[in-house]
Structure 1
Amino acid sequence: MSKAVIYFVKLPIVGFNKTRLQGFLPKEDIHHLSKYLLSKTFKELQLLDAEVLVFVTPSDRKDEISEHLNVEKDKIFAQKECDHLGERMRVAMKEVFNMGYEKVALVGCDLVDITKELLEDVFRQLESYDVVFAPTADGGYGIAASRKFRPEMFAIDEYSHDQVFFQSKSVVEKAGLACGETKLIHDLDTREDVAKYLANDPSASFLNQGEYNANFLIDNGKKILRIALGSQMHLDNQIEYEFLALRGLASSGVVPKVYLCQAKTEILGKGFLIEEYLPGRPLNYEKDLKIAAELLAKVHNVDCEQIPSLIVANHPFQVMYEEFLEMFNHYQNWPHKDLVVEAKISSLMASLANYDRDQELENPCVINTELNSHNFIINPEGKSYIIDWEKPLIGEKEQDLAHFLAPTTTLWRTDVALDRNQIDQFIETYNIKSNNPIKLEKLKQYLHFTCLRGITWCSMAYVQYLESSKVKNNDQTFETISKFISVPFLEQIENYIKMLGEIV
């Protein structure tokens, strides 16, 4: 056989592959992506009329590649241990040409669109050209092929920049060699690469990222690609759950339109949805309470029977209480906990015993459950909206309203704690627009519970951040978490709970 393909691979090891995706994707998803691309390309290579030789790094673990690819042991080789990518490729090409092959193509393992037809085009071009490259969209190349050993192909000083292909081609041509190229191909090295591939939109650009999702602008800024990175609700179908909620709430007129949902993807395992991009600003608690009250009333007025996919909180207070216990348990079992902080949170938890936690759900409606100022898109002279529907439930409107009004929410991103007059005005506006007026005693109970929800969540998140089990995207978030479990803040919440009777 006169043709050979060098499959130039990184062994799939958690934390070793695709380091530029770290901080965007959880390590398990990066590992899934690496294995998927590795296998997908190998299947295409096996369709060729060419010998496939697998060159592996790290070299001392090269035989482990057989756990991922069905490749014979005598077809597995070690990459040279060297930091310079060009030198590693040069040595591999020389080794294979020394085996007697007449045409050799070196193929990377992080490419998403390698096909048998593309490789056949590469070898066909070698009939006319000395060297052939397959350029990638990021300025590099994913395939390098030649019909003789040509060290000039790898004679540039540095790799991993957007001029690799052009510099390599220039060096080859200056050496007097004829250089061909294929159509543009794509690798998945960055978060933008992933978004562009999923949306089939080369203009996709990063917008923002939270703990459980990442958002990208697509379709010239008209739409958002929303990728699920995890689930607060521990759901396997998180993004589909969110999609169905938004579709069911469309009649409210105050949530984003949704266009497409793919519950699972081969490259990530997890899925994505595409929704409307809504311009505007976050809610201002001192200016926009009336707008917020009207928006929430419109959502709560939607017939929840139209969204049978949503989880129903039949005993909402007991569900919340069990969630508090689970979250606080992370802090209680942490060996570095502050005993004073633990005692104060325990005391606040004990104060919930004053309520009946077995109450059944009354007047069910769709609730967001995560209402902070950035869940609102405000346009004072136009339409305003509620966004970020990661954790909707069939519950009680008072739970949603309490989460919106509680100091553990308003103080998360601002320095505003709503006073009695502001809360009274909010309730008055809401009741005018709502099909069901607020039950004040129930709102009071939910306000108490919501404070504990925020504090126990922060106690858990504090441990997770310090133990590095969370992706640290935002230092400001960690500062706020630390503040919320500080003794002064816990004392502030103690005083707020004592004053709840007066506030409501």
Structure 2
Amino acid sequence: MPLLPKSKNLLLIFTRNPELGKVKTRLAKTTGDKAALDIYKFLLEHTKQVTQNLSCDKAVYYSVKVRENDIWDASVYQKHLQDGNDLGIRMHNAFQQAFSTGYEKVVIIGSDLPDLTSEHINKAFEKLNSNDVVIGPAEDGGYYLLGMKKLHANIFQHKDWGTSTVRKDTLNDLQNESVHLLETLNDVDVFDDIKNNPVFNQFLN
């Protein structure tokens, strides 16, 4: 049974199903598949800890298959399957679904951010009171968070997803909108992203 909306704010969490050899493949080239999977599971758990007590509604979007009995409590998180052939289409469809359900502010995050806190997400919703769009810049030139009050479909089109041009191209699309930038964080994609962070040492021995 779908969860009824409790809030006008919805947090979308995009995840990959944690399967050996299928997650953090660029990281796995250095660490091996087992360590890459363990690191991703650690990041999923961190994302859950950061989000589970937020006052907004929450929805997990799975990459491959919706799992019922996993770390995401179905009484807290709506559960959906990502829909689309590339990341832009999948995000567009998730935002579109959220707004068509009646949500007024929608924020999306990934699930690979060791430095993400509840405050980042709360601030994003707060800044949407006075801005059209909120973006959390990632150090690699993309973004780790995107929030809006209506669907800006153009920002999900014609992007080289996973490259350093994504945020710049997105901001170009939003020249006529007011955009608030949160602090820059680093998401985990390759070994350089974790090598100097002691929290990951347990996975690298």
Query: TM-score normalised to the size of structure 2?
Result: 0.90
Residue type matched to 1:14 in 2?
L
Aligned match for 2:67, one of 58, 63, 66:
63
Shift of 1:155: 2.6
CA offsets per residue over residues 353-388 of structure 1, 9 Å max, x none? xxxxxxxxxxxxxxxxxxxxxxxxxxxxxxxxxxxx
Query: What is the identity percentage for the equivalent residue pairs of Structure 1 and Structure 2?
Result: 25
The offset of 1:72, in angstroms, is 3.6
Does structure 1 residue 50 correspond to structure 2 residue 53? no
Tell me how far apart the structure 2 counterparts of residues 270 and 132 of structure 1 sit (CA, whole Å). 33
| Higher RCO (C-alpha 8 Å, min separation 6) | 2
Q: CA-to-partner distance for each residue in 1:183-205, whole Å, 9 max, x for gaps?
A: 0011110111111433xxxxxxx
Secondary structure of residue in 1 paired with 2:144: strand
Tell me the CA shift for residue 63 of structure 1. 2.0
Shift of 1:74: 7.4
Does the CA-based 8 Å contact 1:122-1:182 persist in structure 2?
yes
Partner of 1:128: 130
**Change in CA separation of 1:30 and 1:268 when aligned onto 2, cut-off 3 Å:** farther
The residue aligned with 1:452 is none
Map of 2:38 onto structure 1: 32
Offset at 1:73? 9.0
Task: Say if 1:26 and 1:123 are closer, same or farther in 2 by CA, change over 3 A.
Answer: same
**Deviation per CA, 1:68-126, whole angstroms, max 9, x where unpaired?**
322349710010141x2111100111001111110000010111111111111111111
Are 2:58 and 2:77, in contact at CA under 8 Å, matched by a contact in 1?
Answer: no
Aligned equivalents of 1:20 and 1:160: distance in 2?
11
Please name the residue that 2:24 is paired with.
Answer: 18
Residue number in structure 2 paired with 1:80: 83
Q: Which residue of 94, 97, 100 maps to 2:96?
A: 94
CA distance in structure 2 between the aligned counterparts of 1:49 and 1:73, rounded to whole angstroms: 11
C-alpha displacement of 1:151: 1.2
Matched residue SS, 1:134: strand
Residue 7 of structure 1 contacts residue 53 of structure 1 at CA under 8 Å; is this kept in 2? yes
Instruction: Tell me which amino acid in the other structure corresponds to 2:203.
Output: K
**2:54 maps to amino acid:** L
1:367-386 matches, cutoff 5 A: none
- The structure with the largest alpha-carbon Rg is 1
Measured against aligned partners, the alpha-carbon deviations of 1:40-89 in whole angstroms (never above 9, x if no partner) come to 1121112211001011111xx2125x32322349710010141x211110
Tell me which residue corresponds to 2:186: 186
Moved over 4 A (4+): none
Equivalent residues in 2 for 1:157-306, closer than 5 Å: 157-173=159-175, 176-198=176-198, 265=199, 267=200, 269-270=202-203
Residues 236-267 of structure 1, C-alpha deviation per residue, up to 9 Å, x if partnerless? xxxxxxxxxxxxxxxxxxxxxxxxxxxxx4x4
Q: Distance in 2 between matches of 1:4 and 1:68?
A: 19
- State the 1:146 CA deviation: 0.3
Aligned to 1:106: 108
Question: In the aligned structure 2, how far is the partner of 1:137 from the partner of 1:74?
Answer: 28
Deviations 1:193-243 (A, max 9, x none): 111433xxxxxxxxxxxxxxxxxxxxxxxxxxxxxxxxxxxxxxxxxxxxx
Other-structure match for 1:148 = 150
**Cα distance between partner residues in 2 of 1:139 and 1:171:** 15
Letter in 2 for 1:62: V
The answer to which structure has the higher helix fraction is: 1
What does the per-residue CA deviation read over 1:441-487, in whole Å, with 9 as the maximum and x for residues that have no partner?
A: xxxxxxxxxxxxxxxxxxxxxxxxxxxxxxxxxxxxxxxxxxxxxxx
TM-score by length of 1: 0.38
Structure 2 equivalent of residue 430 of structure 1: none
Tell me if structure 2 keeps the 8 A contact 1:63–1:73.
Answer: no
